[in-house]
Amino acid sequence: MAEDPPDEGMLGWDESVFRNERVFEIDYVPETFKHRETQTQSLQYVLRPAVRGSRPLNAVVRGPPGTGKTTAVQKLFSELQAETNDVRTVRVNCQMNATRYSVFSRLFEGMFDYEPPASGISFKKLFSQVTERLVDEDEVLVVALDDVNYLFYESEASDTLYSLLRAHEEHSGARIGVIVVSSDPNLNVMDELDSRVQSVFRPEDIYFPPYDEGEIVEILRERVKRGFQDDVIPAPILDLVADFTAETGDLRVGIDLLRRAGLHAEMRASRTVEREDVKAAYEKSKYVHLRRSLEGLSESELALVEVIAECEGERAGDVYETFHERTGLGYTRYSEIVNKLDDLGIVETEYAEVEGRGRSRELTLEYDREAVLDRL
């Protein structure tokens, strides 16, 4: 007996709703970069001296998560490398490299195209090898410290910037410019730096505001055009995705939401994304910031997040006792981690009066408890 023909709205086994799924990955750099013309021009102004062989200006690039800061830096770094062979650009992810030594290890890797030895090399030697290479090759180095807020959380920012900004004093002829990129709205970079760094940093301030809803729709429409097959995302569905994205203020949520909604539609073997796909996907996509924040935490920091989630509603002292039992770490380190989690927006801390015990700090999660535990 002949089989029934497949439903026209159903995908075959070898079909996909995606034209290029890579378009929806977080680190994808789009060919067209809209609604950031002013900020791009400011970055070009900062970098222009490097093309002429001079030390570039320094800059603080700031704004909420998902506002195009990293993309702008990456695109201009690519253009700069295409323009001249005398400028070396290195972007360091400080979420993964939150100490001065690890930052300079990434600079070493960027200069020599291989990693430095894992042990047995001092910071001074690492530093001198980077600066000597710059002078020997007569190159200008532009360093982007992306998510620099993580250096501040570990009290490493001032020492790292001081070493970069004073490099020419240690090795005459070394030319280094620094761009720091921060997504922490509560961090004032200049105020938190040592006075010795403030006096030599003097950065240009470049602010990336949140995208408005019209801009979000236009940017997501471009991703849809490049990433999906024709007619997979109808206009009303794109508007729904934009609404969810605008609620969070983070464009990365919308990009992740498109990808997950597409995968959800494929799971149903559907050729089009529908409202149910978007709503189901949003339950995971809305936690993009939480997922990225957790990825950058150490084992002991993750352990404290888990303890806080399990001990929700208990006093900080009781949370510490459980944390100490699991990790063996003391109260000073516990307090440092609490402050970092507060800065990251994972935990909220408040002081409250406790009868007979004075003031006590209360810890609560900024996210749904089950969502946190699920991602741990």
* Neighbour-count burial of 333, counting CB atoms closer than 10 A to its CB (0-12 exposed, 13-18 middle, 19+ buried): middle
Within this chain, do residues 78 and 175 fall inside the same structural domain, yes or no? yes
Which of residues 207, 242, 260 is at a domain's end? 207
Token reading at 81:
């490398």
Within this chain, do residues 153 and 270 fall inside the same structural domain, yes or no? no
The set of residues, in sequence order, having a beta carbon less than 8 Å from that of 70 and lying 6+ positions away, is 91, 146, 181
Within this chain, do residues 230 and 280 fall inside the same structural domain, yes or no? yes
Within this chain, do residues 281 and 340 fall inside the same structural domain, yes or no? no
Token reading at 154:
């570990």
Count Cα neighbours of 302 within 13 Å in the Cβ-side half-sphere: 14
Within this chain, do residues 54 and 160 fall inside the same structural domain, yes or no? yes
Which of residues 188, 207, 226 is at a domain's end? 207
Within this chain, do residues 55 and 202 fall inside the same structural domain, yes or no? yes
Which of residues 290, 308, 335 is at a domain's end? 290
* Residue 44 domain flag: yes
- The binding site for ATP consists of 67-71, 211, 223
* Residue 123 domain flag: yes
The CATH number linked to 246 is: 1.10.8.60
Within this chain, do residues 51 and 200 fall inside the same structural domain, yes or no? yes
Distance CA 175, CA 289 (A): 35
* Residue 114 domain flag: yes
Distance CA 30, CA 11 (A): 28
Token reading at 142:
């532009």
* Residue 313 domain flag: yes
Token reading at 64:
């909420």
The SS3 call for residue 375 is: helix
Q: Tell me the whole-structure pTM to 2 decimals.
A: 0.88
Within this chain, do residues 77 and 133 fall inside the same structural domain, yes or no? yes
* Residue 318 domain flag: yes
* Residue 246 domain flag: yes
H helix runs in 286-330, sequence order: 288-295, 299-310, 316-327
Question: Closest Cα to residue 19, out of 180, 253, 204, 259?
Answer: 259
Using CA atoms, how far residue 364 sits from 223, 283, 308, 369, in Å, is 37, 21, 7, 9
H helix runs in 154-227, sequence order: 157-165, 167-170, 189-192, 195-201, 213-227
Per-residue pLDDT of the chain (376 residues; tens, 9 = 90+): 445 545 667 777 778 999 999 999 988 999 888 999 999 999 999 999 999 999 999 999 999 999 999 999 999 999 999 989 999 999 999 999 999 999 999 999 999 999 998 778 999 999 999 999 999 999 999 999 999 999 999 999 999 999 999 998 888 899 999 999 999 988 999 999 999 999 999 999 999 999 999 999 999 999 999 999 999 999 999 999 999 999 988 999 999 999 999 999 999 999 999 999 999 999 999 999 888 888 888 999 999 999 998 887 667 778 889 989 999 999 999 888 888 888 888 988 887 665 555 566 788 889 888 988 898 8
Within this chain, do residues 268 and 187 fall inside the same structural domain, yes or no? no
Work out how many domains the chain is built from and give that number.
3
Contact 194, 156 (CB under 8 A): no
* Residue 242 domain flag: yes
The CATH number linked to 195 is: 3.40.50.300
Question: Closest Cα to residue 91, out of 31, 148, 52?
Answer: 148
- The binding site consists of 67-71, 211, 223
Token reading at 54:
């001079």
Within this chain, do residues 185 and 326 fall inside the same structural domain, yes or no? no
Residue owning tokens 């505001």? 209
Contact 145, 92 (CB under 8 A): yes
Within this chain, do residues 150 and 59 fall inside the same structural domain, yes or no? yes
Question: Closest Cα to residue 61, out of 50, 72, 75?
Answer: 72
The CATH number linked to 355 is: 1.10.10.10
* Residue 24 domain flag: no
> Which residue range is the domain that position 358 belongs to?
298-375
Within this chain, do residues 286 and 227 fall inside the same structural domain, yes or no? yes
